[in-house]
Amino acid sequence: MLLKELTELTGVSGNEDEVREFIKKEALLYATEIKVDSMGNLICYKKGKSSKYKIMLSAHMDEVGFIVTGHKEGVIKFSPIGGIDERILPGTRVLAGDKKIPGVIGSKPIHLQGREERGNNIKLKEMYIDIGVEKKEELEKLVALGEYIAFYSKYTEFGDGCIKAKALDDRVGCAILLEILKESYQFDLYACFTVQEEVGLRGAGVAAYAVNPDLAIVLEGTTCSDVPDVKEHEYSTVMGQGAVLTIMDRTSYPNKKLVEFIYNTAIKNNIPAQYKKTTTGGNDAGRIQLTHGGVVVASLSVPCRYIHSPVSVMSKKDFESCLMLVKKVLNELSGDENIMSSFKD
């Protein structure tokens, strides 16, 4: 499992270079051909034995983060990249700029807040990043306008087979995809590590247009809401209950026959699996599905608590379930290529 290395890399949307180079070195061991397109997507092609069909697996390399928008009184002003809950930010540790300078997100301390201020959440526009430099000129030299800022969070294993890390959305998908590349199939496999998913699914559409696949499966880290004060009927997914299949979300409507096939494959092979019970959010499947004349898609995910924060949490068991299920599904499709045509009937 390469999750430790992958999650500790920085790859805010639009600045995925470090993640891409790491994945590229790993993928070179198994791929037939590798290319990077003009968007920055990493497309790894593995030739099949018959090449009758093209299957695309997709996982995005980027993570949520921030960008430098200004310097003021020895601190950095910033804006978010991707969906981040601003309520979690005060006191959060970050790595600022190309030099990865340690910093902390600060705001007016509670001792100086008036009674009315204490009753309200601090807004992002009232926050700043402190890297311990007083002079504006020195600050500008260290972290320039337009440079990126990432959460600073170490990979940690704890509890009953749990992992805490940043960027589990979607480095879990990247880790699974690297494992899949080690296998060989009848069909041509395109393992696509995409960019800018967190700011509008931008990379996936370009990658899918280039590949023009017969079928695509998106590998993700998805929301998990089995926590206190959330009613059971409002749970999206449950950590520890296996790989997650999406029925519908804000961006895509996965192919029902393909989703059913994946779920039945899980049951047949005693692999824990569950359906996502909310339709909020979205992922690269939304762009891939609409490419060319339309693509048969499905999303398969690992449930992760507290995504889009520096302390996302997942279960190793769910990761293994997702990896095992992807392998079984691809083996089924490789063993009987006629199954492919049945999804379009």
The C-alpha atoms of residue 82 and residue 156 are separated, in whole angstroms, by 24
| Residue 333: C-alpha distances to residues 54, 268, 290, 302, 320 (Å) | 11, 15, 23, 22, 20
Is the separation of the CB atoms in 227 and 241 below 8 Å?
no
The first and second tokens of residue 107, run together, are 């705001």
Catalytic residue flag (residue 26)? no
The contacts of residue 164 (CB under 8 Å, 6+ apart) are 153, 155, 156, 157, 158, 311, 312, 313
Phi, psi of 151 (to 5 degrees): -60, 145
Phi, psi of 150 (to 5 degrees): -120, 155
DSSP string for 157-210: EETTTEEEES-HHHHHHHHHHHHHTTS--SSEEEEEEES-GGGTSHHHHHHHHH
Phi, psi of 190 (to 5 degrees): -115, 110
Q: How long is the chain?
A: 345
Beta-bridge partner residues of 68? 78
Torsion angle of the four alpha carbons 69, 74, 75, 77, in this order, in degrees rounded to the nearest 10: -20
Beta-bridge partner residues of 32? none
DSSP 122: P
Query: Exposure of 146 by Cβ count < 10 A (0-12 exposed, 13-18 middle, 19+ buried)?
Result: exposed
Q: 10 Å Cβ neighbour count for 95?
A: 20
Catalytic residue among 63, 147, 197, 198: 197
Cα distance from N-terminal residue to C-terminal residue, the chain = 38
Q: Which residues are catalytic?
A: 197
